[in-house]
Structure 1
Amino acid sequence: MTAEAYEVQSRVLTAVVPVWLNRADHVRAHAACHASAMLWNRTVAWVRGEWRAGRSPGREDIRRYVTSLPAEARPVHAHTAQAVAYDLADAIALARANKAQGMAAVKFPWREKRYRRLVFTTGFGWKITSRGRLALSLGRGRERVVLPVPELTNRNGVLVTPDRWGEIKLCWDGAARGWSLRIAHRVPDDRLSDASGHEGAEAAGIRAVTVAVDEGIVNPMTLAIRAPDGAYEVAVINGRAARAVKQRRNKGAARLQSKLSRCQSGSRRFRKLSEARKKLTARTGRRLRDFNHQVTAKANRFIREQVEAHEQAVPTGARVVVRLVVGDVRGVERNTEKKRRTSRSTRQQLSQWERGTQERLLAYKTGLAIRHISEAYSSQTCPYCLTRRKVRGRSYACVNKTCASVLNRDAVGGVNIHTLAVNDGTYVPVPPETVIRVKYLRAQPGWSADQRERHGFHQRARHRAGAGRSREARSSAQNRATRADLPVGVCVAVVPRSGGAMGHEGGAATPQGAGRAVARTAEGHM
Structure 2
Amino acid sequence: MGLKARAPWREKKYRPLSFSAKFGWRITPESRLALSLGHGRGRVVLPLPEVISRDGQPVSPKDWGEIRLCWDRNDRSWSLHISYTAPSKALPGRAEGRPMVTVAIDEGVINPMTLAAPMPDGGMKVLVVNGRQGRSAKRYRNKVVARLTSRMSRCKNGSRKHRRLVAAKKQVEAKTERRLHDFDHQVCAKAEQFTREVHETWTEHHQEISGPATVVGVRLVAGDVRGIEQNTNKKRRASRSTRQQLSQWSRGRQEDFLQYKTGLRLEHISEAHSSQTCPRCNTRTKVRGREYVCKNESCGFRCHRDAVGGVNIHTLAVNDGTFVPDPDLDIEVTYRRSQTGWSSLQRSLHAYHQNVLGRAGAACREERRSAQNRATRTGTTAAGVAVDSAVISDDITAHPGAGRALARVA
Is the pair's TM-score, using the shorter chain for normalization, greater than 0.5? yes
CA distance in 2, matches of 1:307, 1:339: 43
The answer to whether structure 1 residue 132 and structure 2 residue 31 are counterparts is yes
The answer to whether structure 1 residue 227 and structure 2 residue 93 are counterparts is no
Contact 2:376 2:389 in 1 (8 A): no
Counterpart of 1:437 (choices 332, 335, 355) is 332
Query: Residues 368 and 185 from structure 1, CA distance in 2 versus in 1: closer, same or farther, beyond 3 angstroms?
Result: same
The answer to whether structure 1 residue 395 and structure 2 residue 287 are counterparts is no
Deviation of residue 295 (structure 1)?
0.3
Q: What is the match of residue 103 of structure 2?
A: 211
The answer to whether structure 1 residue 258 and structure 2 residue 150 are counterparts is yes
Trace 1:446-457 onto structure 2 (pairs within 5 A): 446-449=341-344, 451-452=346-347, 455-456=350-351
CA distance in 1, matches of 2:59, 2:166: 39
The answer to whether structure 1 residue 476 and structure 2 residue 370 are counterparts is yes
CA distance in 2, matches of 1:461, 1:279: 41
Q: Secondary structure, in 3 states, of the residue corresponding to 1:337?
A: coil
Contact 2:376 2:390 in 1 (8 A): no
| Identity across matched positions, percent | 57
Q: Please list the CA deviations of residues 408-443 of structure 1 after superposition, one character each: whole Å capped at 9, or x if unmatched.
A: 1111110000000000000001241x3211111110
Deviation of residue 186 (structure 1)?
0.8
Counterpart of 2:161 (choices 269, 273, 293) is 269
Q: What is the match of residue 205 of structure 2?
A: 313
Q: Secondary structure, in 3 states, of the residue corresponding to 2:45?
A: strand
Query: Residues 472 and 342 from structure 1, CA distance in 2 versus in 1: closer, same or farther, beyond 3 angstroms?
Result: farther
Deviation of residue 129 (structure 1)?
0.3
Q: Give the number of the structure whose residues are more often helix, by fraction.
A: 1
Which one has a bigger Cα radius of gyration? 1
Trace 1:4-153 onto structure 2 (pairs within 5 A): 113-153=12-52
The answer to whether structure 1 residue 354 and structure 2 residue 354 are counterparts is no
Contact 2:110 2:130 in 1 (8 A): yes
CA distance in 1, matches of 2:114, 2:217: 20
The answer to whether structure 1 residue 295 and structure 2 residue 295 are counterparts is no
TM-score by length of 2: 0.84
Look up the equivalent residue of 2:336 and give its one-letter code: L
CA distance in 2, matches of 1:424, 1:375: 12
Q: What is the match of residue 283 of structure 1?
A: 175
Q: Please list the CA deviations of residues 102-137 of structure 1 after superposition, one character each: whole Å capped at 9, or x if unmatched.
A: xxxxxxxx9864431101111111000000000001
Query: Residues 234 and 162 from structure 1, CA distance in 2 versus in 1: closer, same or farther, beyond 3 angstroms?
Result: same
Larger RCO: Structure 1 or Structure 2 (Cα < 8 Å, ≥ 6 residues apart)? 2
CA distance in 1, matches of 2:160, 2:176: 25
Contact 2:75 2:170 in 1 (8 A): yes
User: Alpha carbon RMSD of aligned pairs, Å?
Assistant: 2.6
Q: Please list the CA deviations of residues 78-125 of structure 1 after superposition, one character each: whole Å capped at 9, or x if unmatched.
A: xxxxxxxxxxxxxxxxxxxxxxxxxxxxxxxx9864431101111111
The answer to whether structure 1 residue 419 and structure 2 residue 311 are counterparts is no
The answer to whether structure 1 residue 239 and structure 2 residue 131 are counterparts is yes
Counterpart of 2:140 (choices 248, 273, 282) is 248
Q: What is the match of residue 84 of structure 2?
A: 185
CA distance in 1, matches of 2:228, 2:238: 11
Q: What is the match of residue 163 of structure 1?
A: 62
Q: Secondary structure, in 3 states, of the residue corresponding to 1:188?
A: coil
Deviation of residue 334 (structure 1)?
2.0
Trace 1:486-525 onto structure 2 (pairs within 5 A): none
Q: What is the match of residue 227 of structure 2?
A: 331
Q: Secondary structure, in 3 states, of the residue corresponding to 2:217?
A: strand
Q: Secondary structure, in 3 states, of the residue corresponding to 2:256?
A: helix
Trace 1:376-391 onto structure 2 (pairs within 5 A): 376-391=272-287
Query: Residues 326 and 112 from structure 1, CA distance in 2 versus in 1: closer, same or farther, beyond 3 angstroms?
Result: farther
CA distance in 2, matches of 1:328, 1:251: 31
Contact 2:109 2:245 in 1 (8 A): yes
Listed as ranges, the gaps of 5+ residues in structure 1 are: 1-109, 490-521
Contact 1:325 1:370 in 2 (8 A): yes
